[in-house]
């Protein structure tokens, strides 16, 4: 099944993107605590209304940090799935935050559950009994944005961040200040072998840079 949704990311009052969920979802085995469980992966094709290059990210981000994802949880809001991550800050390039402290970030995508009961009830127009509901198992689903996952636990990344509005924080029932990457996946670069890289698809340009280049850009 293929459908098109308009997603407001900011969470995403800052950027509107059109997302087409593709039909060829796949099942993969992933580690979940101490056991393995099957999870269905839904990858999305993303048409961005704006592409953020490195100059845009460095000039427009409120906060730029290099940090490690040390904790994660997922939540659904307004029919969309989000990931809340705790980032341990190893280096601050820009903004009023400190090294060796942590911040919370919100990203679109992550892990949710498909509940077949709701779909069956909608199609039949009847409510299932509790014993009938118990026959159906929920399926875990991983949502990727433009084929890109959210930040992963223990992963090192450079984040170009803006604040999540307080109204969204309250609605999502987050108990503290939070940030979100500029342009969704555009505002996160994965750190590997001292290189910061953004992997992208479609019209979104790939970015590959280093610590020295980023510092020079911020000094201009």
Q: Is residue 92 situated within a structural domain?
A: yes
* 86 lies in some domain: yes
The verdict on residue 119 lying in a domain is yes
The count of domains in the chain is: 1
For residue 42, being part of any structural domain is answered with no
Alpha carbons within 13 angstroms on the beta-carbon side of residue 34 total 0
pLDDT of residue 32: 40
Q: Residue 189 maps to which CATH number?
A: 2.40.50
Residue ranges making up the domain that contains 81: 50-125+135-219
> Is there a domain that residue 192 lies in?
yes
Distance CA 151, CA 66 (A): 12
Show the tokens assigned to 109.
Answer: 């995508």
**pLDDT for 162-203, tens place per residue?**
999 888 888 888 888 999 999 888 999 999 888 999 876 655
Establish whether the linkage from the previous residue to 102 is cis, with ω within 30° of 0.
Answer: no
pLDDT of amino acid 5: 38
Task: Map residue 27 onto helix, strand or coil.
Answer: strand
In sequence order, which residues have a C-beta less than 8 Å from that of residue 77 and are 6 or more positions away? 11, 171, 172
**What's the whole-number average pLDDT of the chain?**
79
Residue 65 has a pLDDT of 98
Give whole-number Cα distances, 119 to 43, 133, 141, in Å.
21, 12, 15
Query: pTM for the whole thing?
Result: 0.77
Distance in angstroms (rounded) separating the CA atoms of residues 90 and 182: 20
- Calculate the CA 170 to chain-centre distance: 19
Whether 70 is covered by a domain: the verdict is: yes
43 within domain boundaries: no
């Amino acid at each position: 099944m293929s459908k098109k949704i308009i997603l407001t990311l900011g969470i995403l009052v800052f950027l509107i993107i059109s997302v087409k969920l593709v039909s060829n979802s796949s099942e993969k085995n992933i580690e979940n605590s101490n056991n393995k469980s099957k999870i269905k992966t839904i990858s999305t094709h993303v048409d961005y209304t704006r592409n953020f290059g490195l100059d845009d990210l460095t000039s427009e981000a409120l906060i730029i940090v290099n940090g490690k994802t040390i904790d994660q949880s997922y939540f659904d809001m307004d029919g969309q799935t989000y990931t809340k991550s705790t980032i341990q800050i190893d280096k601050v390039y820009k903004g009023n935050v400190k090294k060796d402290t942590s911040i919370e970030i919100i990203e679109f995508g992550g892990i949710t559950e498909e509940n077949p009961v709701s779909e069956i009830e909608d199609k039949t127009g009847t409510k299932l009994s509790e014993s009938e509901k118990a026959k159906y198992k929920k399926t875990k689903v991983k949502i990727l944005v433009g084929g890109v996952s959210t930040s992963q636990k223990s992963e090192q990344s450079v984040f170009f961040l803006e604040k999540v509005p307080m109204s969204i924080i309250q609605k999502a029932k987050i108990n503290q200040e939070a940030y979100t990457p500029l342009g969704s996946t555009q505002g996160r670069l994965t750190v590997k072998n001292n290189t910061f890289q953004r992997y992208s698809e479609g019209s979104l340009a790939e970015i590959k840079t280093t610590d020295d280049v980023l510092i020079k850009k911020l000094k201009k």
